[in-house]
Amino acid sequence: MVRGRFEGRPEGDGWVIPEGPHSAEDIHITRGRLGGTLPGDLVDVEPSFRTRRGRLEGTVVRVVKRSASSVVGLVTPERTVAVWDRGWAREILLPAGGAQPGDLVAVRIRRYPAPGQPVIGEVTSVFGPADAPRAELLAVLAKYSIRDEFPPAAVAQAQAAPAVVAPSELGARDDLRGRLILTMDPEDARDHDDAIEAKELPDGGYEIGVHIADVSHYVPPGSPVDEEAARRGTSAYFPERSVPMLPEALSSGICSLFPDVDRLVQSVRLRIGPDGRLREARFSRGVIRSAARLSYEDGARFLAAADSGPIGTAVRTMGRASALLARARAERGAVDLDLPEPVVAADAEGNLLDARYGERNDAHRLVEDFMLLANQAVAERLRSTGTPALHRVHEAPDETRIDSFEDLLAGFGERLRVPSGPLRPVHCARLLARIESRPEAPFLRRRLLRAMRKAVYAPRARGHFALALPDYTHFTSPIRRYPDLLAHRAIAVAEGEPSQDADPQTLPALAAACSETERNAEAAERTLVERRIARLLAGRLGDAFAARVSETGRFGLAIELDEIPARGTVPMALLTGGRFRFHRQDHSLRCPATGRSFRIGDALEAQLVRVDPLRGDLEFGLSAEPVRVARPGKRGRGPRPRRR
C-alpha cells in the first residue's frame, strides 16, 4: 500500500504522488479506479500492474483525508459549478439557487462523490460575473485563503503609530543620517523596506551597509498587528493592487524608507575582502535619511554612465562591490536559475493593458547581492549565538527527480557530471554554464528548478542548496514577510537587547504556517496573472505568435510565447501533416512520413485556436515549420525581488 496526494487531470484520470522522504514513483490512476477521490486528497493506493510502456497503475483503496471542504468556480447554465482548478474533471451540482450562470462563486461541498454519484455543493459567496476583474480577484483571494480586511484592533494600532520619527525614539541608535544611503526598487514598488550603501576599503575590499526598516519597533510581539501579520505570513501582489501583510499606515507610512525623512532601521554593516568573502558583520539599530529613491532602471543607468555626481558615484561603488560578491558566489558553486518573470500593467479596475517578460538588469543583481549577504550574515550570527529563529532551508534535490532530469539531459547529449558521491550545487552551476547559449537552455533551467525541492522555513538550519550555504535566513523584508520580522527580533536578542525571545516550542508551527502562506501567495499571484493574460489574448483568436517548445510528450507540445509571458499546448491532434510519435530517448516528436520533428527549444509559429479564461488555458495550432535560432531577448520593467 502507498500513501500520497492525488493530482487530477482534466481528462478525469490523474497521478498519486507518494509522500515521505524516500518516496516511491508516481502511480497513475484511471478514472474508473479513483473511488470518489478528488484532486488534492490524501489517499491509500494499491499498485496494480505496469503497462507495456512501464507506467505503474494503481487503484485508490481509501481516501485518508479530503483536501478541501470548499472550492471556487464558475456557475454554468446547467446549474453546476465548473471548478477553477485544472485537475478537476468533475462539476459540482447545485440543487438550489443563490447565483446566476456566469458568476464566480465559492462553494461548500455538502456531499463528496461516490461511484455513480455526483459531487453536491452549496454556494457560500458570490463574487460577481467572471469577466469582471474585481470578481476574479476576490475569487483568487478566497481560493487561496488570503485575508483582505484587517481586524479593527490591528487598524487602530497601525493608525496610532507616529507619522514621523520623534527625537525621543532615537535613544542609543546609531545616527546614520549624514551618510549617502539610498533605496532601489521596482518603479511601481508599494513599499520600501531596504536601503543600501557601500564604501571601498584600502585593501580592495568593501564595507557594505544594508539598512532595513525597523518594523519590530512598531509591531511588538503579541500585539493585534503582530497576530494578524503572523496569520497572513506575507504580502501578495496583484496587477491592480497588493494585499499587504501590515496595515497601510505602517507598510506605506512610518515603516517605508522614503527619501529626505528620518526612518528607524536595523542595520547590518558588512566587510568583504577583495575576494568577495564576508570578513566581518556588525549589527545595530539606527536612524537614516535616504538620499534618493531610485528605480532599478535608474540604478542601471547610473551603473552604465560616467556621471560624476554623488548618487552616480555611490551607485557605481556599490556595483563594484556587487561584482565581487557575484564572483565569490560563483566560486562556491551557487546555482543561479534566473528565470524570466512576467510583468503586467493594469488599469485601476484590473483590466490588463500589457504583459511582457521582465528584464533583470545589473541594478536588480546589485540589490539582490547585498540582500543575500545580509541574510547570510544574520543567519550565521543567530546560529553562532544559538538564538531561536526561523531559517530558510533549501534541501538537496530528491534523487528520483534528479534521475528523471538526467534522462532529459541525455537526450541533449548532456549530464550533470557528478563524479562520485552526492549531487552538489556546483554540479548544477557548471551544467547551466555549459548550456547557457543553447536554445533549449531556458527550458532545461526550468526543468532543473522543478527537479529541486522548494525552499521552506524551518526552526533549525539545514543548509541552502541553491545558494551553497550552510545556513540562511530571511531578514531584509519585514514589511512583507513575517519570518523577516521574527529575524529582526531574534538578532536583537543575539546582540544582547532586552527583547522578547521567540518560544522554540512555537517555531515548528510558525515555520509550517509561513511556508504555506508563501506558497498560497505565489500561487494566487500566478493564477490571477494567467487568467488575465488568457482574457487579454481571447480577442486574438487566429493570430500567430512566435514561440518555443518547452516540453514534448504523447500529449503533443507545450510551448511558451516569445514576447508575451504565456504558455499553452499544441495537442497531438493539431500536429498536422502526418502521425507523430514521441521518442523518449531524445524527447522528440517525429513524423516518420515527413521527417518533421520537434524538440525542446525549437522555434515555431503558433496560431491561437482556443482560450479558456476560466482556467487560463491556451491551445494552439501550428502555422510554420520549426526553426532552430537563438532565443530573442525579452524586455520590460523589472520583476519584484525573487523569493529564495
**Can you give the CATH number for the domain in which 10 is found?**
2.40.50.140
Task: Output the pLDDT for position 541.
Answer: 95
**Domain boundary, last residue among 19, 40, 65:** 65
**What 3 state SS string does 292-351 have?**
EEEEHHHHHHHHHCCCCCHHHHHHHHHHHHHHHHHHHHHHCCCCCCCCCCEEEEECCCCC
Is 628 a member of any domain?
Answer: no
Report d(CA 606, CA 597) in Å as an integer.
15
Burial 565-603 (b: 16+ CB within 10 A, else e): bbbbbbebebbeeeebeeeeeebbbbbeeeebbbbbbbb
Give the model's pLDDT for residue 418.
82
The percent of residues in the chain predicted with pLDDT above 70, rounded, is 95
Tally of structural domains, the chain: 5
380 compared with 171, residue with greater pLDDT: 380
Q: Is the pTM of this model over 0.85?
A: yes
Q: At which of 125, 143, 161 does a domain end?
A: 143
Does residue 3 have a pLDDT over 50? yes
Quote the pLDDT of residue 54.
78
- pLDDT, one tens digit per residue, over 411-428 is 999 999 887 788 999 999
Residues 495, 411 within the same domain: no
- 224-232 vs 152-159: helix crossing angle, rounded to 10: 120
pLDDT of residue 320: 98
DSSP state of 115: T
State the pLDDT at residue 498. 78
289 within domain boundaries: yes
Residue 503 has pLDDT above 90, yes or no: no
319-323, 607-611, 625-629 — which is least confidently predicted?
625-629
The chain-wide mean pLDDT, for the chain, equals 91
Q: 283 and 381, same structural domain?
A: yes
Indicate if 515 and 496 belong to the same structural domain. yes
My answer on whether 481 and 589 are in the same domain is: no
> Would residue 596 count as lying in a domain?
yes
**Neighbouring-strand partners of residue 617:** 612
CA atoms of 123 and 128, how far apart (whole Å): 12
Stretch 40-61: mean pLDDT? 90
Is there a single domain that holds both residue 369 and residue 486? yes
What's the pLDDT band for 370 if we cut at 50, 70, 90?
very high
Do 54 and 75 lie in one domain? The reply is: no
* C-alpha gyration radius of the chain: 26
Cell 553562532 sits on residue: 384
- Whole-angstrom CA distances from 137 to 59, 91, 357, 559 are 37, 22, 22, 27
C-beta of residue 423 within 8 angstroms of C-beta of residue 406: no
* pLDDT single digits (tens) 559-575: 999 999 999 999 999 99
Residue 629: pLDDT over 60: no
- Asked if 287 and 168 count as a contact pair (C-beta separation under 8 A), the reply is no
Summarize the confidence of residues 124-131 as an average pLDDT.
94
* Cβ-contact 408, 33 below 8 angstroms: no
Across 524-538, average pLDDT: 93
Is the pLDDT at 631 greater than 80? The verdict is: no
Of the spans 41-50, 300-309, 392-401, 515-524, which averages the highest pLDDT?
515-524
Whether residues 389 and 242 share a domain: the answer is: yes
Which pLDDT score, from 0 to 100, does residue 22 have? Answer: 54
502 in the same domain as 389: yes
Backbone angles phi, psi at 238, to 5 degrees: -125, 165
- What pLDDT does residue 82 have? 92
Say which CATH number the domain at 122 has.
2.40.50
Are 612 and 534 contacting, i.e. CB atoms less than 8 angstroms apart? yes
Nearest CA-CA partner of 556 in 568, 576, 570, 577: 570
pLDDT at 585: 87
Among 444, 454, 504, CA closest to 631? 444
Tell me, yes or no, whether 304 and 201 share the same domain.
yes
pLDDT at residue 578, rounded to an integer: 85
Please say whether the dihedral angle defined by the alpha carbons of residues 147, 157, 264 and 207, taken in this order, is positive or negative: negative
Does a structural domain hold residue 315? yes
Same domain flag for 59 and 74: no
The reply to whether 638 falls in a domain is no
Q: What string of H, E and C letters represents the secondary structure of 240-279?
A: CCEECCCCHHHHHHHCCCCECCEEEEEEEEEEECCCCCEE
Per-residue confidence (pLDDT) for residue 642, from 0 to 100 = 52
Cα 63 to Cα 248: distance, rounded to the nearest angstrom: 43
Q: Is residue 42 part of a domain?
A: yes
Vertex 193 angle, CA 192 and 196, to 5°: 95
* Co-location of 410 and 473 in the same domain: no
Domain boundary among 531, 556, 587: 531
Q: Is residue 416 part of a domain?
A: yes
pLDDT of residue 21: 55
pLDDT of residue 327: 97
127 and 27 in a common domain = no
Domain assignment of residue 19, given as a range: 2-65
Region 444-448 average pLDDT? 93
Whether 639 is in a domain gets the answer no
Grid cell 499606515 is found at 249
